[in-house]
Amino acid sequence: MHAPVLGPSRPGAPPPGVRHNSRAGHVEDAGMSDFHFDDQYSTFDVRGYAAAPEGGGGVVGDRSAHAAARGGTLGDAPAPKRVRKDKQKAKEEAAAAAAALDPDAPWTLTRRQPWADREVAPARPTEEQLAWLKEEGFIKEPEAEEEGAEGAAAAAPTGKTTFHGDAETDAVGRSWMAAPRGVRAMEEPCFLPKRVVHTWPAAHGGKGVASVRFFPGTGHLLLTAGMDGTAKIWATAADSGRRCLRTYAGSAKGLRDAVFDGDGARFAAVSFDKHVKLWDTETGAVLASLGDGKAMHYCAAWHPDAVANPHVLLAGSSDKKILQWDVRTGDVVQEYNYHLGAVNTVTFFDEGRQFASTSDDKTIRVWEFGIPVQTRYIADPAMHAIPAAAASPSTPFVAMQSADNQILTYTTADKFKAVPKKTFKGHSSAGYACRPCFSTDGRYLASGDGSGKLYFWDWKSTRIARSLQAHDGVCIDVAWHPLETSKVASAGWDGCVKYWD
């Protein structure tokens, strides 16, 4: 840029001795921070002068104004008089306080803040908020607080029962629960039901029925759980009138499920009041109330080995845990907490040595019973949540109701894995936890759907073998009779329980 100009002259070229590196003139780079640039720019705009960018004490603009201000800029302008006075007053007060301070005297606050003497009224909930807090249990009455202080274990669970039969024992002292004489398994394959042989209308006061279970081994009794908060047992034999024999009322809210233990002497009722109540089937006494009342329980499963583990109950809850209780003491003896969402199902297989759980996190996890570490984890981006499942009583398969209108099958023979060829379709169950059910010989798979239909699939071909319009609302549950090979019970949200043959 500083080399001598050589060559012929050009029209419009600068005169000799003037060097341009741009159309506007000579431009040089100068390093300057943003603050100093803005400070000089603002000073020039307001006072008419600024420091020369090349340094050296040069001035650009009004030199007289620069001299009068002693080279000051807007950035180093003096503070207003009021601010100076306040600072001076604060210094004088601090000096006076330091002079009057006795080092041996205890420390006290010499200057109170302006809000120190102001009384603040505590915030109190409104009447509506107080009513809600009491209803949800956040505020307890004095009597309830005294009982809670003694410990939850000391408080006896409450519940009411009503017997509707003629007598709780017969002439020879046999219980009303005893199976009729001559009940035995039929040595023939299962057949599809064709018609309704009995209907229990408004089985739970006109409210929806959540689950239906046959008595283990014999099926002469039928256990139902309803949204009215009660569980009921019905007789299934025609000569008994198929009437309700006992009602168990222990929840102010609806029941989600009710399951018998291995011999039917007890059953667990899963309630929407965040507890699982254990009932004595024969007497109707509440044996225990399980749960701390903080999490909602969605399913319950007894250990299938009624000899080795008759007092083990597992429940999946909304806090992503599977709790294992010893029902004799009501203590949680194990927690399985790898899920990332609410646990929907717990299904035992391999004679109770393992169980599978499903959750809203759209995964399937397999566990060794008693060991809180998952042994298998099944997840896929194409998977949907599985709200209901059932294990086959005679074959090593587990059927799982998927939220995409399919029933998926997993084998438990070698290791827990999917069987893509055994996928059952044709029903509409998305949005509902319709529990599937196997026939006792494994020939058929049954399930309800959201339109109230009851579907039966042939296991070998996976085709729909029969469909029946069972209920006006959702057909939420179905159970196959353990002995009579062609009888099925179904429950629906229309409040009806139907018995098919």
**Mean pLDDT calculated for residue range 311-327:** 95
Which residues have C-beta within 8 Å of that of residue 83, sequence separation ≥ 6?
A: none
The winner for highest mean pLDDT among 76-80, 95-99, 394-398 is 394-398
Which is it for the CA torsion 28, 29, 30, 36, positive or negative? Answer: positive
Specify the pairing of strand 244-249 against strand 255-260: unpaired
Number of helices followed by number of strands (H, E) in the chain: 5, 31
CB atoms within 10 A of CB 70: 6
Q: Is the pLDDT of residue 18 over 70?
A: no
Q: What is the tens place of the pLDDT at every residue in 372-390?
A: 999 999 999 999 999 999 9
Contact 491, 224 (CB under 8 A): yes
Q: What is the pLDDT of residue 28?
A: 65
Least confident of 22-26, 60-64, 145-149, 319-323: 145-149
Q: What is the pLDDT of residue 337?
A: 93
Exposure string of 94-133, with b = 16+ CB inside 10 Å and e = fewer, is eeeeeeeeeeeeeeeeeeeeeeeeeeeeeeeeeeeeeeee
CA dihedral 69, 75, 81, 85 (to 10 degrees): -130
Read off the pTM: 0.69
The H-assigned helical ranges of 231-351 are none
Please provide residue 497's backbone torsions phi and psi, each rounded to the nearest 5 degrees. -120, 130
Q: Is the pLDDT of residue 185 over 90?
A: no
Q: Determine the Cα–Cα distance for residues 356 and 415; give it in Å rounded to an integer.
A: 12
Q: What is the pLDDT of residue 124?
A: 82
Least confident of 149-158, 362-371, 414-423, 452-461: 149-158
Tell me how far apart the 2 most distant CA atoms of the chain are, in Å: 138
Q: Using pLDDT thresholds of 50, 70 and 90, give the confidence band for residue 17.
A: low
**Mean pLDDT calculated for residue range 310-328:** 95
Task: Considering only residues 62 and 154, tell me which one the structure prediction assigns the higher pLDDT.
Answer: 62
Q: How many CA atoms lie within 13 A of 153 on its CB side?
A: 6
10 Å CB burial of residue 4 (0-12, 13-18, 19+) is exposed
Q: Which CATH class is domain 160-500?
A: mainly beta
Least confident of 78-87, 126-135, 178-187, 471-480: 78-87
**Mean pLDDT calculated for residue range 203-225:** 94
Going from N- to C-terminal start, the domains of the chain cover 38-67, 160-500
Q: What is the pLDDT of residue 7?
A: 62
Residue 99's beta-bridge partner residues?
none
Q: Is the pLDDT of residue 151 over 50?
A: no
**Mean pLDDT calculated for residue range 450-463:** 96
Q: Using pLDDT thresholds of 50, 70 and 90, give the confidence band for residue 144.
A: low
Q: What is the tens place of the pLDDT at every residue in 24-41?
A: 666 666 677 888 888 888
Least confident of 23-27, 210-214, 270-274, 320-324: 23-27
Least confident of 61-65, 93-97, 101-105, 443-447: 101-105
Q: Determine the Cα–Cα distance for residues 260 and 244; give it in Å rounded to an integer.
A: 17
Residue 499: strand, helix, or coil:
strand
Task: Considering only residues 251 and 151, tell me which one the structure prediction assigns the higher pLDDT.
Answer: 251
User: In this structure, what token pair is assigned to residue 77?
Assistant: 């302008």
Place of tokens 């194409």: 382
The winner for highest mean pLDDT among 84-98, 166-180, 339-353 is 339-353
Place of tokens 């009447």: 127
Residue 199's beta-bridge partner residues?
498
Please provide residue 79's backbone torsions phi and psi, each rounded to the nearest 5 degrees. -70, 155
Q: What is the tens place of the pLDDT at every residue in 218-247?
A: 999 999 999 999 999 999 988 888 999 999
Q: Is the pLDDT of residue 186 over 90?
A: no
Residue % of the chain over a pLDDT of 70: 85
Contact 138, 148 (CB under 8 A): no
Least confident of 4-8, 56-60, 476-480: 4-8
Q: Is the pLDDT of residue 364 over 90?
A: yes
CB atoms within 10 A of CB 379: 10
CB atoms within 10 A of CB 298: 22
CB atoms within 10 A of CB 423: 13
- Mean pLDDT taken over the chain: 86
Cα 66 to the center of its chain, rounded Å: 72
User: In this structure, what token pair is assigned to residue 31?
Assistant: 């390093």
